[in-house]
Structure 1
Amino acid sequence: MQITSKFTVAVHILTCIDIFGGQMRVTSDFLSGSTGVNAVIVRNVLGQLRNAGIVETRQGSGGAHLAKALDEITLYDIYKAVDCVD
């Protein structure tokens, strides 16, 4: 099993959403600054997490929110969402 940097970024994104989500809007710009990754890559990873039903996002400056409780999300769920798993 090969783990890419997108997996690491996805875990960081979910951690930030959980920690800061109640205090502020967690936007791709905020996440980009936090991870040191280009905002376009952050939006792509967020899109993959959204398609997997892990996060909810709104266009514009709406920010991202967890779609389900953090204890219901496994590392394998994140891996399947952002890496190609056959």
Structure 2
Amino acid sequence: MRCIRNAKLITHRSQLQVHILAFSAIVGSQATSDFIATSVNTNPVVIRRINILLKKAELITTQIGVVGVNLIHDPEDITLLDIYKAVTNLDNRLFEVHNAPNPECPVGSYKRPHPSRHMKR
């Protein structure tokens, strides 16, 4: 069930990130955490935490003491995959296989090939 909960969190964060980036593209440097939070009906702290992810992914810039968020790239150049990567931080891996499953588990004890061997870019 933790997997499902994490998937919902990623989906929710991705939606918020898309909103933040779109809002920032439209409003420009006036897009403060408070202003964005009001537009998505959430707490500004949630927006600030997501902005940290967006900044680490080099999608936005923020400055201490300066109001607003600025996009680093043109909006047309930012893909949903860029946004997804900013949320998940999986370094280009969409599927992560844990290396130490419980050997007593009927699923974890099954030796299977790594999914990336079956996927093509």
What TM-score comes out, normalization by structure 2 length?
Answer: 0.63
Q: TM-score, normalised by structure 1?
A: 0.87
Number of corresponding residues: 83
| 1:12 aligned residue (16, 19, 35) | 19
Unmatched tracts of structure 1, length 5 or more: none
The 5-angstrom pairing of residues 40-55 of structure 1 reads 40-55=45-60
Identity in percent: 37
Structure 1 segments, 4+ long, off by >3 Å, are none
Give the aligned partner of residue 83 of structure 1: 88
- When the two chains are superposed, the root-mean-square deviation of aligned CA atoms in Å is 1.5
Amino acid aligned to 1:45? I
Partner of 2:48, secondary structure, is helix
- Structure of higher CA gyration radius: 2
Unaligned runs of 5+ in 2: 1-6, 91-95, 97-121
Aligned to 1:35: 40
Q: 2:65 aligns with which of 60, 64, 78?
A: 60
**1: distance between equivalents of 2:40 and 2:17?**
10
